[in-house]
Amino acid sequence: MSQLKNSRKKHGRMARAMVVAGIVALAVIVLIIGGAWLLLDSILTPDTGVPSTTVEFTLPTEEPPVTVVPPTTTWTPATGKVKNEDIKTFFLGGIDILGNHTDVMLLVSFNTKTSQVNVLQIPRDSYVILGKGYQRINVLYAVYGIDGFMEQLQKIFGVEIDNYFMVKTKGFREIINIIGGVKMNVPYDMNYDDEEQGLSIHLKKGLQTLNGVQAEGFVRFRKSYIEGDQGRLKAQRLFFAALTDQLMDSLTVSKITEMLPAIAENLRTDCSVSDMIGYATAALKVDLENIHIYTVPGEPSPGHSFWMMYGPETIELINRYFNPYTEDILYEDVQMIEFERQHEDYYSKDGDGQSITDIQKDPDLPIIRS
């Protein structure tokens, strides 16, 4: 009898570990897939619809909308800094097989000792240095490849990345359908059609269960958001909270097994299987109130074409929630450009941090045009 009980306990722990690992993997895909539709705008040739084979890596066709203040120091790797080995830093990026743009980017800090998870949403339109000019941050992967991209992110944010998880955007609908859809309260009527992208979003306001197609429409929609891509990031937080709640209630080992082929087919990572098992084991101790989501502080440029990061405030946020070192990262040590600020009194300087439970109880809804 004792052996039977121990066997059941062991099986229960293994099943729970698989569920947590599935939650992590699926949550990554869901958050990342939201930016997939934006890829088409930047990688398709307008006249033919054929993927472009080149990307413009010099100054954008739109000149910097405000005065740019470039860094005054030269970046060097943080070789002298001592790391806290309990803190692991991941990068989660969504890539498209045609253009290799990363239109949804998440920097994740996981403290395996305190079970605290902090997620930083990096706006796709963040303006960064590229060669002798400037570009949106979402083209860096296409320019430098994965290793160079990780180095560029370290230059910008001052944090060494332990592992990356790059997810292809296909397979989203299938995975959402496997888990039985996502129950959530859609805050507004959403209507948008784009024949070139094969996009037809028509959602009614109210509580409902979104299937794969509808869920994709929700996370892709941004047409009516006054804040542009910032509104879409807020909507993604809502969806992530609803998805997490759904998974905690209904995800089973059999459903995870059914999802594994779709996840494996669409995931590229440098993380070993043994490390994944270790992370999944540590993740068993994480509570929803210990998962916090932040956004890079800044403001949109005139016309909302770019996201202009607030350099000092971003590094302050990094030091507070994402710093894996035993000493502070200095603003002078990173390659982040500063702008002549236009609306700093109207936009958050602290990253608008919210836990998953906060989002569920008191969501920060995107602002829409009337």
Distances (CA, A) of 194 to 45, 51, 235, 263: 16, 18, 20, 28
Q: Residue 128: which of 77, 75, 68 has the closest Cα?
A: 68
Rounded to 5 degrees, what angle do the CA atoms 103, 105, 106 make?
160
Q: Residue 280: which of 91, 89, 17, 11 has the closest Cα?
A: 17
Mean pLDDT split into 10-residue runs, the chain, 370 residues: 52 47 47 35 31 35 50 55 92 72 86 92 87 84 89 92 83 80 90 74 93 85 72 82 77 74 79 80 80 88 80 93 94 83 70 76 68
User: Taking the C-alpha atoms of 359, 319, 101 and 225 in order, what is their torsion angle to the nearest 10 degrees?
Assistant: 40
Q: Which domains does the chain have, with CATH numbers?
A: 11-361 (3.40.630.190)
Q: 339 has which bridge partners?
A: 68
| pLDDT for the residue 59 | 35
Phi, psi torsion values for 240, nearest 5 degrees: -60, -40
| pLDDT for the residue 6 | 55
| pLDDT for the residue 66 | 54
State how far the Cα of 343 lies from the Cα of 345, in Å rounded to an integer.
5
CB 184 within 8 A of CB 238: yes
Q: What predicted TM-score, i.e. pTM, was given to this entire model? A: 0.77
Surface-to-core class of residue 214, CB atoms within 10 Å of its CB (0-12 exposed, 13-18 middle, 19+ buried):
buried
Q: In sequence order, which residues have a C-beta less than 8 Å from that of residue 316 and are 6 or more positions away?
A: none
State how far the Cα of 197 lies from the Cα of 28, in Å rounded to an integer.
24
